[in-house]
Amino acid sequence: MSSTAAIAAPGAAFAYDFAASPCGALRTCVGSARVMLRASGAMYLEISRTLVVADLHLEKGSSYAARGQMLPPYDTRETLGRLEAEVAALSPAAVILLGDTFHDRRSEERLAADDAQRLRDLAGRTRLIWVIGNHDADGPQRLPGETADELELEGLTFRHEPQAGLQPGEVAGHLHPAAKVRASKGTVRRRCFVTDAERAILPAFGAYAGGLNVRDAAFAGLFARPPLAGALGLGKVHAVGWKSLTGD
CA distance to 3, 14, 40, 98, 137, per residue, from 24 (Å): 11, 25, 10, 23, 34
pLDDT-based confidence at 74, cuts 50/70/90? confident
Of 9-18, 22-31, 59-68, the least confident: 59-68
How does DSSP classify residue 211?
A: -
Amino acid at 103: H
If one compares 139 and 37, the residue with the highest pLDDT of the two is 37
Amino acid in position 176: H
pTM: 0.91
Quick one: 189 exposed, middle or buried, by C-beta within 10 A (0-12, 13-18, 19+)?
A: middle
| Domain locations in the chain as residue ranges | 3-244
User: How far is it, in rounded angstroms, from Cα 50 to Cα 247?
Assistant: 33
Closest among 226, 227, 191, 184 to 209, alpha carbons compared: 191
Q: Would you say residue 65 has pLDDT above 60?
A: no
- What is the average pLDDT across 47-59? 96
* Strand residue runs (E) in the chain: 3-8, 15-20, 26-30, 33-37, 43-45, 50-53, 94-98, 127-131, 146-148, 150-153, 156-159, 170-172, 177-183, 186-195, 200-201, 212-213, 228-232, 237-240
Q: At what angle do helices 113-125 and 75-90 cross, to 10 degrees?
A: 20
pLDDT of amino acid 117 = 97
User: Which residues 6+ apart lie within 8 Å of 112 measured at CB?
Assistant: 76, 77
State percent of the chain over pLDDT 70.
Answer: 90
Residue 170 has pLDDT above 80, yes or no: yes
